[in-house]
Structure formats: structure tokens, C-alpha cells
Structure 1
């Protein structure tokens, strides 16, 4: 990394915009934290730019991970892409040192993160981001925090898929830091390969899918220092682009695919095998994207029925159907439904006792929460909204509905890992785990009202 000044603070924000700033240079003014909070709060949801002007002659560069904002202020003469690259490497390092990354982890490991930043930067100049160099200087022990989320792939007890060389991962194994401190050696070396997919869907009011995209990653997390070359075998029918066809089974097709610079691809074209020598820590081996051509059915369908009464009451009946296989299920399902701003109260009738629904006064939306839903089943909810003086324009404020959910042990693209093998025998063979998860925070269903 070149030595580039990242002028002033590297603060952390959680999703509620609480903050913990680290001042590197101290000459940017005390109001920058509040300025960034105001700029982010004013932006539409999901459309925050990476770069924003802090004030004349100074800019914000930020990345967002696990609901946290990692921010640097840069001068106009500084390459903003170097700032973003540094922030991404910082996020990876903190995951390696803390095990998981969330608001609670940051608060518990304030001293450790401060020490990492102190070694990374010298008066605003980047010194190193190499884990093998930093390991010699970081002395603070991490404080572990259990945070339940399938997307983290760290604290889940039983999910994944058996392959020829892997089993389902226990929860306690991946929750610890990947980088051992003070020369500590883990008693049982392990390697995790996570297939993570993000599903983006927009469905029209008539039920027709308007947009269906998959953004996927293969993340390799190694707790094994001194690991030799590893061979990762993907689905043999994996093909890139619409013209390439491979094998005799059902093809797994992606539109775009990119690999980490350390991955060797000499066997990929013929056998769909990736060769990589993982260092201790986390590495994104491959990224891929599927646009507008998901091979299977969409995981959820929402059937809304909206009735407007003369008294000003609106009845919204929602039927949520999970179109996964009965062997699969979804967890942490949230249905976010904007309602007219004039809504003063609501009542609810839910189809099962474990569900909950609340009217959020600040955002004027109904939040319907389903902890778990099995594939092939359906749930329903009836909401009665009191909206005095409801007009046709106010009725149009109802919707669209947005679903967020997680699908453990499931990939929408169909991508699977055939095996994880070492090219040469290891003195102590580490355990290898393969895990799958699909999540979505942009599953939008438009409603027809009025």
C-alpha cells in the first residue's frame, strides 16, 4: 500500500448512527462526525454514495459492513480508491482479530481496535495492512461476543452441506478470531468455505418479476497457519455467460465471475477447480453475479388484498407463501409495509402465535416478523388501519412491501462445492467446513391500492 494521508478520523458508526471516532491527525474539526451523520440520514435508503463532500477541500470516503460505517476523510489530492481499499482491508483485519464484526464487538474490543489502527497508521500515513506483520505488534486479547445471524456464518450451530471432504460446522469454532495473538497456536486448525448469496428481487403488482439478481461470494476463512495449496472443486456444470454449456446435468450459470489475484485458474476451465494458498484470516476467493435468470422458483410470494372502508379504515390481508422445498426453511423473515402517514392506530390478526407485528410510529410502517417458516407452507396476517380523512393520494402511500430474510443451507444459483483438498499431505490435517446461506434485504413487492 502506498503512503497516502487519510486526513483526520477513522470513525465507526452503527446503524443507529451512534459513533466512536479515532482521531488520526486532529486537524479536521470536531464537527465532522455530526456532519457525516446528517449526510447519511438525509440520503434515501440503500442509495448512500461511497464519497461525499465533508466541506470545501475535504471529502468523506466510507464503506458499510454489518450495519457499521467505516469512514475516512481524504484531501482532494488523495486517491479516493486507495481510501476505500484501506477501509476494506481494515474491515477484514478486524474480522480476523475479533471473530465477528458488529456494534457490540466494536464496543467490547475498543482497546484492540485502537491498537490495530495505531499500528496501521502513523500520523495519517498507511504503514502496513499485512496480518503477518501486525501479529508481531498487537498484544491486546479480543473479547468474544455471540451475535446470532446466519449471514455472519459464525454463530450458527447446525447448517451447511456435506461434501466429500466436509461436514456441518459447529457454532463455537468460527466465532473465535482467525488471527491468534502472541504466537498462540490453535489446538484444532480449521478452514471454512462460505458460499454467500444476496438476492435482489422486484415484483410488480400483478405478480410478474421485474428484477431478479443474485450477487454471490466464496469466502475462505482459515485458522491454519502455514497452510499449503488448497484445491476447491466447484459444480462441474458451472458456466460463465449465456453461450457456454458444460456437462450433462443441470447447468449452474452466472453472468459475471471474478477471482482474487492469488487464485490460480489453470484447472478452472477444464475441471472447475480453483487453486489457492490461504493465509491465516479471511479471503474472498470468488465473486459472481446472476442477472434476471434465476434457475429455480423465487423463495417467497406475497399475496395482498386491500379493502378500503367508507369510515376511513383500511384492511390489509397478506398471505405469505414460502416456495422452497419442504426440506428447506427461512429464518428472520421481516415484512416491512409502509402505511399512510395519517394512520393513527392499527389492529392485527396473525395466523400463528410466534409471529409479531407492530406499527412503527417514526417510519409509519407495519413490521411483521416471522422467526421461521418452512418450505411449502404459508402464513397470513390481517391488519386494520385507522386513517381519518383518507384520500386517494393517502392510499397510494400504502406499500410497497419489502422482505428481508435468510435461507440457511441454500443457494438460489445452485452453486455447490464438490470438495476441499490439499495438494500435498499436511502434518496436521485441518478440519474443513462448507457452509451455504442466501439472504435478502431488497425483496420488494409492489401493491395495487386505490
Structure 2
């Protein structure tokens, strides 16, 4: 339970305050900013939960605004922090950006939202789509309050009654982002997979969906044997529509979905991966110039293709007079990033590509130049998953018994994907072929 919720500017001055329980004086917020600064001075970072004199301050910062919830109770901190995150999401949906100026321009509607989203300090309706059905932005003062949608009084607060479509469809995307750090010799220093299952639901009525994955824990708990590879997901996080009790007992993902687009779940796989796109780089420095040779290798299956590949190679900040030659794609010097960007619209699995780059160095440099930032790689591979996760089934049940079409798509893309640069070679004569 939250006793009150505040929106503050960067100096700690209240912009909006909503007291829900009356058990903490509103003047208690004056201690928030000094307390936060004390903790930052002591620990070097601001903690999201601060306590003083029996009052707990839970907070987050969005641009130039602090959102703070106060409580005296032994409240669930994660629930209140999640509520503040959802509050940010709702305000952003309404005002496009959550910042001090947008708050000052929308006092009336913000108080309306605070009253609907929390009752006596307990979170209530937090779905932006449901709130937008009866709290509109057409006027600051709502002269006629329309009847709340049935979703507000229904246990399924994220979906309204009476939704109807001529064609019933469900689109499901399994999107995996690869985080990876590779050293100059090609050895992987760290890697993991961050996955998300995103859905677009266009279904009539109040359907129930059941999703089955090749979940290793499910197979082990039921004593069944997986026909193919089974994956062990960690740090699973679900949308509120998923029945957690059902998942905990038999690992079944059962839910009544929101209408339209939403993120059903996220997960992590902490596993050792080989680079999908490996870049071998040789750098030579000479008096008045620097030369690069970059070889890119697509180390995934031949039948797959990476789209919109970008390889960002850092160069010295004072480099000039760029010259490029590549076997595939196009190359552009981006001086504001101190880098050149090699772009390939498509890069087929098993293929290699070569790039040569030459820059002038007008300033006198030391023999041992400072270590450069790593090479960054961007890509997207459709119909491909690194983890091997599979949608085994997606069942749609609705009392009217209509037929619905489920569509499933897999996408692998880069997350924080970096390859460290080698130390430059310094010699009188270039050992790289001329451009």
C-alpha cells in the first residue's frame, strides 16, 4: 500500500501530490531529496528504496521528473516500483513525453489518472488502453464522465467486453537479442540471450489462449521427453494477463490477452555462444596515415540471411581523407561518431566480406596510440533463433467456437554486440594490399 504519490522536479519541489491514506504528513516529502543526495554521496549511486523515521520512499526518475511513493506499511516494494513504472508508461501514452512541462500542462487529467489507477493506496487499473476508453484528453475538465468500460469492473481489467473482428488472427513474434563481447582473437568473453515474445491479437470476444514452448523444466516435471532441443529459460517475466498459478504448477502459459499489441513475456538464457557475425580486423599506423582491413564472417547456417547489417569501426578523432574499398555493401565515414560504417543489406550465412579503409592523420601521434573503442555490429536474422526455442502450439478457445489463424515468426537480432579492436601495428611499409 502507498500512503501518497508525488511528482517532483529535479530540485525536489512537488509538482503534483496525491494523498491516499492520510497516515503520513505531506511535509515528509521535504526529506526525500536530502536523503537521496546523502545516499548518493555515500554509495555513489541512488537506491530506489530509501527509509527514514519509519517512512519508506520508493522512487524512480524519468527525464526531469521524480516519481515518489511513500509508505509506512510493510509494503511490497517491487509492486510499488512496478506501479511507478506503469505510471510513467500511462503518462507517456497520454502526453507523448513525461517531463515537467507536460505535467504542468495536464494537472487535471493527471489527477483523474491517479484517482483511477490507485484506490486507498492499492494499485487498480494500470492498462493505458483501458484508461483511454473513459479518460480522454479532449478537454482538461471532463464535463460528462462516460460509463466505465466493463473491463474496470471485470477481473480481466486489461481487456474490454464486446470486441469484434471480421477476421480473427493472432501474430506471435519470438525476438531474441544477442549480447556479446569478443576479444581481438575471436574468443568470446561474455554472451547471453535476451528474448521476448511479442503478440498482436485481433480476436473477437473474450478468448483464452494456451501457449506451449519447448521448455526444459516442463518436460522434466512431467516426465516427458522432448523430440528436439529443449531450452531452459531464466529470469522469466510475464504480462499481467498470464495465470501465474497455472504456470507454476504445470508450466502452462494460459491467458486472456489484451486487444492489439503487447509483450507477453521476456526471458534470458545465460549460455556460451559463438559469434554469429565475426569481424577480424588488422590496423596499421604509419606516419601521416592509418589503414584498416576488416573481414566479416557470417557464422550461421547457409540457408539463413542477415538483413540490414551495420559494422561500426572506430577511427581516431582527427582522421581525414577517407578512402574505402569493399567486396560487398557500402561504406560511409561518420566523423561525428569518429567511425566508419559498413552497411550490407543482406549477408548470407557462411559467406565472407572484405573491407579496406585508408585515413590521413594530420597530427603527430605517439608510437603507442591509445586503445580504441570496440567494433559494434548490428543485424537482424529472420526465421532464426540462436537458443533453439520453439512454439510447440498456440491454442485459441472462445465460447462462440470461431476459427482463428495463428502466425508465428522468429527473429534474431543484435543486442549489445561488440568486438574489441586489436592493438595497431606500426611499421614503415604497409603490409596491407593497396586500395
Say whether the fold is shared (TM-score over 0.5): yes
Paired residues of 1:52 and 1:61 also in contact (CA < 8 A): no
Structure 1's 431 and 122: CA in aligned 2 closer, same or farther, altered over 3 A?
Answer: same
Deviation at 1:268, TM superposition (A): 8.1
Partner Cα separation in structure 2 for residue 228 and residue 412 of structure 1 = 32
Question: What 5-or-longer segments of structure 2 have no aligned partner?
Answer: 19-26, 34-44, 51-55, 139-157, 425-435
Question: What 5-or-longer segments of structure 1 have no aligned partner?
Answer: 11-22, 33-47, 64-68, 142-178
Deviation at 1:200, TM superposition (A): 0.7
Encode CA deviations 1:98-119: one digit per residue, 9 max, x unaligned.
Answer: 9xx999xx9xxx9xx9998564
1:212 corresponds to: 191
1:18 corresponds to: none
The count of corresponding residues between Structure 1 and Structure 2 is 361
1:386 corresponds to: 360
For 1:325-344, list aligned pairs within 5 A: 325-341=301-317, 343-344=318-319
1:120 corresponds to: 113
Encode CA deviations 1:23-81: one digit per residue, 9 max, x unaligned.
Answer: 656999xxx9xxxxxxxxxxxxxxx989699xxx9997247xxxxx6964337769985
Deviation at 1:280, TM superposition (A): 2.7
Q: Which of the numbers 242, 260, 285 marks the counterpart of 1:308?
A: 285
- Between 1:382-391 and 1:428-437, the stretch displaced more is 428-437
Deviation at 1:443, TM superposition (A): 1.0
TM-score scaled to structure 2, two decimals?
A: 0.65
Deviation at 1:412, TM superposition (A): 1.2
Partner Cα separation in structure 2 for residue 115 and residue 414 of structure 1 = 50
Deviation at 1:448, TM superposition (A): 1.6
1:253 corresponds to: 231
Matched, 1:73 2:73: no
SS in structure 2 opposite 1:396? coil
Partner Cα separation in structure 2 for residue 93 and residue 223 of structure 1 = 22
- Between 1:408-417 and 1:74-83, the stretch displaced more is 74-83
Partner Cα separation in structure 1 for residue 365 and residue 258 of structure 2 = 61
SS in structure 2 opposite 1:89? helix
SS in structure 2 opposite 1:437? strand
Encode CA deviations 1:210-240: one digit per residue, 9 max, x unaligned.
Answer: 11101112234433363332111212xx314
Deviation at 1:413, TM superposition (A): 0.5
TM-score scaled to structure 1, two decimals?
A: 0.63
For 1:244-323, list aligned pairs within 5 A: 247=225, 249-254=227-232, 256-260=234-238, 262-263=242-243, 266=246, 273-294=252-273, 297-309=274-286, 311-323=287-299
SS in structure 2 opposite 1:325? coil
Partner Cα separation in structure 1 for residue 307 and residue 348 of structure 2 = 9
2:83 corresponds to: 86
Structure 1's 350 and 123: CA in aligned 2 closer, same or farther, altered over 3 A?
Answer: farther
1:61 corresponds to: 60
1:397 corresponds to: 371
